[in-house]
Structure 1
Amino acid sequence: MGQFESRDPEARSAAGGREQQVARAFVELADTLVDDYDTIDLMDRLIAHSIQLLASDAAAIMLVDASGGLRTVAASSEDAELMELLQLQAGEGPCVECVRTSSAVTVDDLSATDRWPRFVAAVAVRGAFRSVHALPLRLRGEAIGALNLLHRSPGPLPADDLALGQALADVATIGILAERAIRRGEIVAEQLQSALNSRVVIEQAKGVIAQHAGVPMAQAFEQLRSYSRGNNLRLAEVARDIVTRRLDPRTLSAARDIAERRRGSR
């Protein structure tokens, strides 16, 4: 047995389980390095892996748009999306600074910092999180966005978790930009703008589904995502079909009910 290997079987089992989760996460994100993939779905998967592997309560991603401004492209919850909105409205905050400096920004306790007074004041009134850890999505030293890890309780994030989070963000960055476009020297903002436009359509589709099924927006997105993955379709493509009425929202609810019955019968 190695000097640093745990003698506790449960500890070794837990460590092995996490290693498998990490491996699966990188394999899944690396699979996006193909000619055709769904950038918004990639962002959603990055958020899901970050929450699972890094014990975050929520996560969100901002990207730089064609005009140089920041826009939210993915969020795990409405509270997480609100945190991004508060930063955009204040023009300051961990994510904004992370993109500006192309460096990680960690805040163990928002209530104890005076770095961003407008943002901190807004969080005190409307925010649900106490600590934020922002990791840059970097291309050759320049940030094209940031991954925000949010926690409801104050406290630091272990250095190993920060390193893993940065590695996940780096792999996702490669997927966003697509190496062929990088080699040709095309404008990165053009690809990012396409992702942002897809996000608008997805938000519209979520509204249609939520109104039709009488469910919250988060549940509407889950129906949209489950249908696209279950049928091997691009998330933006399914959303566009919902918005243009080429796909009946009832189809998503029916597919969800069938899947739930199948799981219940096992």
Structure 2
Amino acid sequence: MPPAFGPSALDALVGDLFPKGQKPAFGRTQRAREWRAGVLSVASREWLNQLKTTEYYEGRVEDLEKRLKLDAGRVQAASGNLSFFDFVDMLLGKQKYEQLISLGLESPEQLGIEYGRLLVDVCQGPPSVTLQAWLNSLEAFVRSPHLSDSSASELENILETWPADFQAWPYLRSSERSRVISRCEHALEHLQQYKKGGTSPDQLPTGLALLGQRPLIAWHSDLHKCTTCADEYRQMPHSLAHSSYSCFFPQARASLARQMRTF
């Protein structure tokens, strides 16, 4: 990503979000202009200048571009003429949109501000290049020499259904992305224990857990020995940790992933 990414490039990407081929032209309506102004009041020139000073700047901009292009693709794929509020609903998500409406924050500018905040959050927390680096490190560790052939084979199996598509990454909140990276770090600890012969194969993390919202390690009688894992189970009633959903896995692959030891 060239370091020259600036306000004009961002403005063009935001403009690409507007539905094409509608009459009157969607992007020229008063509501669309006010919404766009709201977006760019948050994802502003000043914010872009500050972003350039952050670590992994190019990776963050790549994630930002990916989010905008994915959103644009969804909007353009919608059939029929979209109303302004249909457009906003698609970009913010129904739950967030309805929450804003219930609070009386339905002005086009305010709705644009909320979308701008989502774009800013895409560039906070770990970028996708950090996730890729961690997955590469985990894979390298798994493939490194192991004393036991059977254990080596067991570890090889965890590579078979690793997710190759990280399109969901820019849709995760920055706090959720940080949580995934912390799970990668903790997963490496469990892999190291396994290679030393300290745990059984049934106690290896799964891909659905690593990138999803379940506790990292399936319940077993010695789980209390790991403070981090024990804390995850204690937090389950108060979080989404019990959910089997992972936006990194299409449902067809999720079913397979549950049956295999994967990352």
TM-score (norm 1): 0.31
Structure (1 or 2) with the larger CA radius of gyration: 2
